[in-house]
Amino acid sequence: MIDDGQPTDTSKQQLDLEKCVQDIYSELLAVDQAEQEALLTLRRPDHIKYLHGGLQTLSSSYVSLDASRPWICYWILHSLALLGAPLPSGLTSKDIVAFLQSCQAKGGGYGGGPRQLPHLAPSYAAVASLVTLGDPAALASVDREGMLTFLESMAQDPQQGGGFQVCPGGEVDVRGCYTAMAIACMLGLDKQRLAERAGMADFLRRCQTYEGGMGGEPGNEAHGGYTYCGLAAACLGGCAHVLDLPALRRWASSLQGEVEGGFRGRTNKLVDGCYSFWQGSLFPLLHSLSIQHGSLQSDRHLSVTSPDAGQPDSQDCTPGHSHGEEHRGPDTAGSSDCKVHAMELGGLRDKPGKPPDYYHTCYCLSGLACAQQASDWILGPISNVLKSTDPLCNVLRERLAQAQAAHWRA
């Protein structure tokens, strides 16, 4: 493209965003310590209120996200779990299990809504929701046998390129690999056998690009969401050694916003809160794979275990598109909207100037939890500390351990 010196839409948005962040910093510096602490305090009650509002109408609303109802359920439940908050009054775990049950397909797997055909992405969201709920009835509501049959039927012939299709006739991409592996991990199914059946190691190897990140399918641009799916799937399937991990780490580091902080999803795009998880969680995964000093351990399987899982099956838990519709196309960040305290209603968002949504609330909090777990240092008051999440399945570590123990006993 010829550079005519005129700012492009993206570079204008970038400048707006940088100005906005500078305003926020100046504001922080201008106030005394007590006020600074208030500005840096995670507003739990507001976030919880916002999340509760979304769950109460789960079975009747979200017509425009009709194929994403288990996702909405997961985003809200996991956000509440990270915040250590209960379900809203008047809604029980039983109600949510019943709703997800209505999305479970006859032969196994979950659709995006009641009576829809099964798809791997809402299947992941439904299983992760049930693990997050944590009670025995929630876990028992999953047709594990049926799910295994569904997962096996999505595995593609390695001779034809391998990988997992997301639904019958659907795309074959790294989301398929990730959701199949994460579901198998949460349900205590044989991940290794599934990964081999789909020739997953070679499929994932071919998704890594010259930049070091991974695209959705071989030949596609490297993107944070797909790189998370690719690396986490490789870790879960025990084949991370096929990836060029130092290159992946360099790429992920290079996508940090130098001025405004946070992460962007791909080269030359704007930072966005949800990449705090998609990109930010790559580092704990890489750390666990022991490439800290630029060299890999000689162990071929490079397992990552959930440190506090500690259950018989946890050794085995080695380390959609559902980017909410509201995510697309960043508007110009209006600087009057950009003050730290401007958002009064709870929820987290893509960037200043955007409205909050459940998807961004979930992944901003998940990214924050990963960052808190990775260091001894907490930004803001100690009350900002969130519950610990498993960076592979992105459910609370304690709930994953509980689910795995339950399968072990069954």
CB under 5 to 8 A by kind: which of ligand FPP, Zn ion, none does 49 bind? none
16, 211, 272, 357: which one contacts ligand FPP (CB under 6 A)?
Answer: 272
Annotation marks residue 94 as catalytic: no
Using CB under 6 A, which residues numbered 167 to 186 contact ligand FPP?
Answer: 175, 178-179
Annotation marks residue 207 as catalytic: no
CB under 5 to 8 A by kind: which of Zn ion, ligand FPP, none does 350 bind? Zn ion
Any contact of residue 191 with ligand FPP (CB under 6 A)? no
Please, which residue, 175 or 249, has the CB nearer to ligand FPP?
A: 175
Among residues 16, 350, 358, 393, the one annotated as catalytic is: 350
Site pattern 221..250 for ligand FPP (x: CB under 6 A): --x-xx--x---------------------
Annotation marks residue 32 as catalytic: no
Annotation marks residue 3 as catalytic: no
Alpha-helical (H) ranges within 64-114 are 69-82, 93-103
CA neighbours within 13 Å on the CB side: how many for 9? 5
Per-residue b or e along 286-298, where b marks 16 or more CB atoms closer than 10 Å to that residue's CB: bebbebeeeeeee
246 vs 249: CA distance, rounded Å = 5
Q: In 10 A of CB 231, how many CB atoms?
A: 30
- Residue 338's alpha-carbon distances to 260, 352, 355, in angstroms, are 12, 5, 11
Annotation marks residue 266 as catalytic: yes
Q: Provide, rounded to whole angstroms, the least separation between the CB of residue 377 and ligand FPP.
A: 28
Please, which residue, 99 or 178, has the CB nearer to ligand FPP?
A: 178
CB under 5 to 8 A by kind: which of ligand FPP, Zn ion, none does 359 bind? none
Q: In 10 A of CB 58, how many CB atoms?
A: 18
In terms of phi and psi (left: phi > 0; alpha: psi -120 to 50; beta: otherwise), the region of 389 is beta
257 vs 152: CA distance, rounded Å = 40
Among residues 185, 235, 274, 317, the one annotated as catalytic is: 274
Please name which of 367, 379, 407, 376 lies closest in space to residue 82, comparing C-alpha atoms. 367
Q: In 10 A of CB 127, how many CB atoms?
A: 30
CB under 5 to 8 A by kind: which of Zn ion, ligand FPP, none does 260 bind? none
* CA 288 to chain CA mean position, Å: 18
Annotation marks residue 95 as catalytic: no
Instruction: Considering only CA atoms, give the Rg of the chain.
Output: 21
Annotation marks residue 274 as catalytic: yes
Using CB under 6 A, which residues numbered 26 to 85 contact ligand FPP?
Answer: none
- Residue 65's alpha-carbon distances to 61, 118, 324, 359, 379, in angstroms, are 9, 16, 8, 12, 34
The residues of the shown chain that bind Zn ion, judged by CB under 5 A, are: 272, 274, 327, 350
Residue nearest to ligand FPP according to CB distances in the complex: 225
Distance between start and end Cα atoms, the chain: 60
Using CB under 6 A, which residues numbered 100 to 139 contact ligand FPP?
Answer: 121
269, 287, 339, 407: which one contacts ligand FPP (CB under 6 A)?
Answer: 269
Among residues 177, 357, 390, 393, the one annotated as catalytic is: 357
Residues with catalytic function = 223, 266, 269, 272, 274-275, 350, 357, 360
Residues engaged in binding ligand FPP (CB under 6 A): 121, 175, 178-179, 223, 225-226, 229, 265-266, 269, 272, 278, 320-323, 327-328
